Amino acid sequence: MASASVTSDPYVYRKRRNWKPLRIAFYYAFLIPLLLIWLVPIFMTLLTSVRSLDDITLNGPFSWPSSFEIENFSEAWSSGGLNRYMLNSFIITIPALIICLSLSSLAAFALARFTFKGNLIIYFTFVGGSLLPFQILMLPVYQLSNTLNLYDTYWALIIFHGAFQIGFCTFVLRNFIRTIPGEIFDAARIDGASEFRIYHQHVMPLSLPALAALATLEFTWIFNDYLWALILVQRDKLKPVTTGLASLRGEYIQAFNIQFAGTLIAVVPTVLLFIFLQRYFIQGLTMGSGK
């Protein structure tokens, strides 16, 4: 296109060159307001979180803050119990992440590198299971947690998330490992390396990009889980930040400033993760959509 536009006719040439900046101006004039409108809920949360209740009631929800109360954050953090809830979220998310990544990498290695009876069926079971609606698992998982004395402990959530997320991670990792050239494995085998050694000394280092992408994505998913926290954990001091926020809301029913301060604290970990590891996050999602 660009080379086609360079013609001997100076008029055409000038016309195209003049037209482009205008087009770019239109482009930004359209996208910037669109994005600003799209993000209004986020701006309003930020504004409301620093206003005082009097200010909100007096001036309505949609006005510039006439008060600035940073104390809303400390109120939500300590009296609202966000400090405890945040810690719980990490206590649940990190072990669950380790379980699902380590086990799914084992499964993915076997499914990607060996031909054996049932390979495809096992693979499809992992993928299909990860797409099920959660309701079909809720009652048995609740009962199983009860039977194993895991109900209302961190472990109920850690093990469930660790197990359930194996499906998606195996799917992504298996397809990634298949793209590793087979010569690497053959060379290692000739050197007499055991399969397990090939797995952890050759395949895992090569799979780091996929593992990083999955870790970012899975961290966000497990951290943001609400449904399972609602069902498997009862005690307030064990709640992760999602169900914690729901109780915070019950405690401060009309105090939206405190609620929103809590909300903003709650999103810090996943937002930071997204800002710094955006590339991995997006890779994980697109890898997961089946190429």
Partner 1 sequence: MAEITARDVSSFSGTTRKQYWRDIHRLTPYLFLILPIALYCAWVIGPMFYSVWMSFTNADGISRQDYIGQANFRRLFNDDIFWTSLLNNFKWLIAFITFPIVAGLGLAILLNNDLPGTRFFKAGFFSPMVVSTVVIGLVWSWMYQPYGMINEVLSRLGRDAMPIGFLADPEIVNWAIIGAALWRQVGYVMLLYLAGLKNVDRTLVEASRVDGASSFQSFKDIVIPMLQPVTVIIVVISVIDALRSFDLVNIMTRGGPFNQSSVLAQMMYIEAFNNYNMGYGAAIATVLALISIVFIFAYLRRMLKDEMEY
Q: How far apart are CA 260 and CA 269, in angstroms?
A: 16
Binding mask 187-226 for partner 1 (x = CB under 8 A): --------x---x--------------------x--xxxx
Distance CA 182, CA 175 (A): 14
CA distance 187 to 195: 12
The residue (of 92 and 111) whose beta carbon lies closer to partner 1 is 111
Shortest Å, Cβ 56 to partner 1: 10
- Compute how many residues bind partner 1; rule: CB under 8 A: 99
Q: Which of 194, 203, 152 is nearest to 174 (CA)?
A: 203
Nearer to partner 1, 81 or 162 (CB): 162
DSSP state of 255: -
Taking the least distance from each CB to partner 1, the nearer of 132 and 187 is 132
**Which segment (8-16, 66-74, 80-88, 155-163) binds partner 1 by CB under 8 A?**
155-163
Q: How far is the CB of 260 from partner 1 (least distance, A)?
A: 7
CA distance 37 to 30: 11
Q: How far is the CB of 8 from partner 1 (least distance, A)?
A: 18
Q: Which positions from 68 through 87 interact with partner 1, judged by CB under 8 A?
A: none
Q: Residue 26 is which amino acid? A: F
Closest CA to 242 of 89, 87, 134: 89
Residue 76, Cβ neighbours under 10 Å: how many?
28
Of residues 89 through 128, those in contact with partner 1 by CB under 8 A are 99, 103-104, 106-107, 109-111, 113-114, 116-120, 122, 124-128
Q: Indicate whether 64 belongs to the interface with partner 1 (CB under 8 A).
A: no
Shorter beta-carbon distance to partner 1: residue 69 or 273: 273
Site string for partner 1, 23-62 (x = CB under 8 A): -x--xx-xx---x--xxxxx-xx--x-----------xxx
Cα separations (Å) of 185 from 14, 108, 116?
A: 58, 15, 17
The one segment of 9-17, 69-77, 204-212, 282-290 that binds partner 1 by CB under 8 A:
282-290
Distance (Å) of CA 58 to CA 54, 67, 286, 287: 6, 11, 47, 50
Q: Shortest Cβ distance from residue 227 to partner 1 (Å)? A: 6
Shorter beta-carbon distance to partner 1: residue 176 or 260: 260
Sites for partner 1 among residues 7-26 (CB under 8 A): 24
Dihedral sign from CA coordinates of 10, 14, 17, 23:
negative
- Percent helix, percent strand, percent coil in the chain, to nearest 5: 80, 0, 20
Residue 134 identity (one-letter amino acid): F
Q: Which two tokens stand for residue 7?
A: 């013609």
Q: Which of 72, 88, 93, 242 binds partner 1 (CB under 8 A)?
A: 242
**Rounded to whole angstroms, how far apart are CA atoms 291 and 284?**
11
